[in-house]
Structure 1
Amino acid sequence: IQPSSRQRKKPLCQRLLRGQFRWRLMNTKLVERVCAPLTILYEPLSVLLALVLVVASRWALFRSIDWHFYGQVMAQFNPGDYLLSLGLLIAVVLVHEFGHAAAQLRFGLPPGPIGFQLYLYIPAFFANVDASWKLKPSRRIVIDLAGIYFQTVAASVLYLMALETNFTPLLTTALASDSLCLIAINPFLRFDGYWLLADALAVPNLRTLSQRLLAHYWKRLLGREAPGNILPIGRARAATVTAYAILRNGFWLFVVFAIVRNLSRLYAGASATLWKFLSQGLDGVRSLDGALVASSLIRMVLFVLLLLTMSALLANTAVKVWQLARAGVEKARCRPQQSCQSRRTRMGGN
């Protein structure tokens, strides 16, 4: 899901630091033409059958597959299988975005365009769902879940095909798709899970308001002066939003810690990894193996994006720490001045 296309375009240096870029792939008319027939999947009977398919396909898979044998097969994954799996995965993820657009059509709203983006240099598709803000929260929740709904149904079809044919790329794609669904439902990333929680709590700008609430309660805990009513929400929602802020900060601290812990090893081996992919690509050129050339280049690009993702996370963390430290120093400087002014005011009053 794309949050809002009406936001002002940020400067290039800021987008490079945050790794945020977007490109439109499909306009509104094309998206509507593709998704109009898919609205039938939101009929109650269709939803019921889809849920049965999702549960049954995964139960059949995990009941019958030999994971040790599958690991051995994966070790012999050839470039052609890799490219086929990647192509199928891209198609499945695109179906995810069609789910969001079809849900908007189901509720009588025009779908937005679909495009490709880098979020912290992580490649992903997006669907513009600005029009969904006209709906009540319960319907927005349906739109939030629609992408994962479509994606799990598509993966279920691949699971059944894999069980029938024993074709490894089908199984690999379906497993990768389910892994991406788990990432998408994570509320600490600005993907579907974040918007789902925001709509469930009826708090549109959840990230900003959760940080404000956390700062509010932290000041009160330290005995400092804090505004009495920071948000027009009840105590239960305020407690939930505050808990979200604590968990979100803990999640990102864990991510940064894990990156720092493995950073030296990863960057030390980065040149060797890149050279490995480059050598494989050159071998493909010599042997006229187009699949080897393409898979090597794709892996190289994805590895570079991984390095950029970790660098962007560390850089953004450093910037935030610097901003907090500078704000703390400025507040510390202001307190003596405010104290002197208050004493002068009292003396003048006497």
Structure 2
Amino acid sequence: MSPDPLPIVNPLLEVSDFDSDAGRPMKLCKLPRGDGQGEVRFAVPAEYLELARAFDGSRDVDAAVQAYIDGHAPAREKAWLTRLVLESLMPKGIIIGGDQDPGSVGASSQSTKAFLHIKLPLIKASVVEPVARTLSFMFRPTAMLLGLSLFIATHVYVYGVLFRHQHFDFSQLDIASVLLMMLFSTLATTCHEFGHATAAAHFGCRNMTIGWGMYLIYTVQWTNVSDAWKLPRWQRAVIDIGGVYFESLFLVVLLAAHLWTGNPVYLFGFIFVDLSIATTFNPFLRMDGYWLVSDLFGIVNLRKQQEIWWQDLMARLLLRDGHAPRSTLSRRAKWVLGLYTVLGTLFIGYVMLTMFRVVVLSVIANLPAFVGETWRQLASGATLLAVLHALMEFTWRVLVIVGAGLTFWNIGKGLFALFGRVRTVAAAAAGRA
């Protein structure tokens, strides 16, 4: 009987440098997914790949780990390195058995839909790429500086002038205006995704596809910019912000339409699109703000590092000088992560408070009067068309209230779960101390 083939490094493994601010050098790995659903990418410490290279087909796991120890004198003990091989490098497909198919072992704990419940392609790369390449001049420094100036000026004018000196009653809008705002939101989102694609094209990426999906309870669009993983940090950050950049230009169009016509529906459309922009910077959702901080400062697995930051903070408050930090980030990255978490929370809170005051409270306060007036009109004699119209008017108002309630509920539930995990870990650390 011939012996079992010895483990080797997966010959299909593609490795490239990964620009990050981790405490140790990182590498980006790419493998075909074992289920045939595209590719899987993950960042790992460079030293892990040095360990993997010891698996040359002439050694078993024990001998390969020992060869790595003899050649590198690592800080980790042999038992820990062996577990790393058996519980991480092999399950990921970086190291495979000599008799395994290299193309069928690549695995990730994240599904092909990632954090989306539904993920469907919408606009093919053959359509996206020509448009993105044509518009790539928008990401020259001069054009981006002009875009930033317009973004600041429009927000100062809307929130500092229009909402201070004029009264807008959202509840007075009709169903046609609400549907128009939904159209604005869809167009703005499409602009947003083309912003990501255009930025990626500006830096030489290809195969950008735009799709539709479900995230939590929201419908969203997404753009495949997986080529961006190989880019330097600052270029990845520009791609992350590209969506908001293009969407902010759509805000300028809405403001201009309001000033030209005086119709408040354009201004409310501005607010709704602005809420969408603000939501992308929510530090608790995996949207643009999440990836911007992750890419700009090279923080691998930002969500996990954010939770570790809170745990270290809580443990430090409880243990004072008796806590050994768990985070491996640089001092600068820790400060950035902390500021992002705090400022991002304040920003989304401010915009949501504005929305609640201007939209939700207005709808709630005027709902009884609306229902009473509508009932009187229907009771005096109404056609089927009038009944359907009244039903639609009532429905969108109820949906505004329910949607706002679900949004606050999901954010509150997420915060409660986060702080629950933080408190549990911190309490455990305090118990060990």
TM-score by length of 1: 0.66
1:171 aligns with 2:273: no
Aligned to 2:139: 42
Query: Are residue 83 (structure 1) and residue 184 (structure 2) matched?
Result: no
Q: Which residue of 1 aligns with 2:198?
A: 102
Which segments of 5 or more consecutive residues in structure 2 lack a partner in the other structure?
Answer: 1-39, 42-107, 354-360
Candidates 270, 274, 278, aligned match of 1:182:
278
Decide whether aligned partners of structure 1 residues 24 and 36 sit closer, same or farther in structure 2, where only a CA change above 3 A counts. farther
Equivalents in 2 of 1:237, 1:70: separation in Å? 43
SS at match of 1:125: strand
Q: CA deviation at 1:24?
A: 1.9
Q: CA 1:225–1:110 in structure 2 vs 1: closer, same or farther (change >3 Å)?
A: same
Query: 2: CA distance between counterparts of 1:220 and 1:122?
Result: 37
- Give the aligned CA root-mean-square deviation in angstroms: 4.6
State the alpha-carbon separation in 2 of the partners of residues 87 and 206 from structure 1: 33
More strand by share: 2
Give the helix-richer structure, 1 or 2.
1
Asked if 1 retains the 8 angstrom alpha-carbon contact of 2:196 and 2:223, the reply is yes
Maintained 8 Å contact 2:282/2:344: no
Alpha-carbon separation, structure 1, partners of 2:290 and 2:397:
29
Please name the residue that 1:286 is paired with. Answer: 384
CA distance in 1, matches of 2:338, 2:161: 44
Q: Alpha carbons of 1:98 and 1:163: their partners in 2 closer, same or farther (altered >3 Å)?
A: same
Cα-to-partner distance string for 1:221-240 (whole Å, 9 max, x where unaligned): 6265647x751x43333344
Is 1:8 the counterpart of 2:110? The answer is yes
- SS class of match (2:206): coil
Shift of 1:195: 1.8
Q: How far 1:89 moved relative to its partner?
A: 2.1
Give the Cα–Cα distance (whole angstroms) in 1 for the partners of residues 287 and 117 of structure 2: 15
- The alpha-carbon deviation at position 88 of structure 1 amounts to 1.4
1:295-349 deviation per Cα after TM superposition (whole angstroms, max 9, x unaligned)? 655555555444444554565566667767887999999x7xxxxxxxxxxxxxx
1:300-315 alignment, distance < 5 Å: 300-301=398-399, 303-313=401-411
TM-score by length of 2: 0.55
Q: 1:101·1:111 contact (CA, 8 Å) conserved in 2?
A: no
CA apart distance, 1:138: 0.5
Change (3 A) 1:310 1:69: closer
Show structure 1 runs of 5+ residues with no match. Answer: 259-265, 336-350
**Aligned mates of 2:164, 2:313 — CA distance in 1:** 48
Q: In structure 2, what is the Cα distance between the partners aligned to 1:291 and 1:192? A: 38
Q: Answer with 41-50 or 140-149: which moved more.
A: 41-50
1:137 — aligned with what? 233
Q: Is the 8 A contact 2:139 2:199 kept in 1?
A: yes
Change (3 A) 1:70 1:290: farther
Distance apart, 1:209 and its partner CA = 1.6
Identity across aligned pairs (percent)?
24
Conserved in 2, the CA contact under 8 Å of 1:97 and 1:125? yes
C-alpha deviations, 1:136-175, integer Å up to 9, x for none?
1110111111111111111102211221222222222123
Alpha-carbon distance, 1:212 to partner: 2.4
Closer, same or farther: CA 224–298 of 1 in aligned 2, 3 Å:
same
Give the whole-Å Cα distance in 1 for the aligned partners of 2:279 and 2:428. Answer: 39
Secondary structure of 1:8's counterpart equals coil
Worse overlay, 40-49 or 217-226: 217-226
Asked which structure has the greater CA Rg, the reply is 2
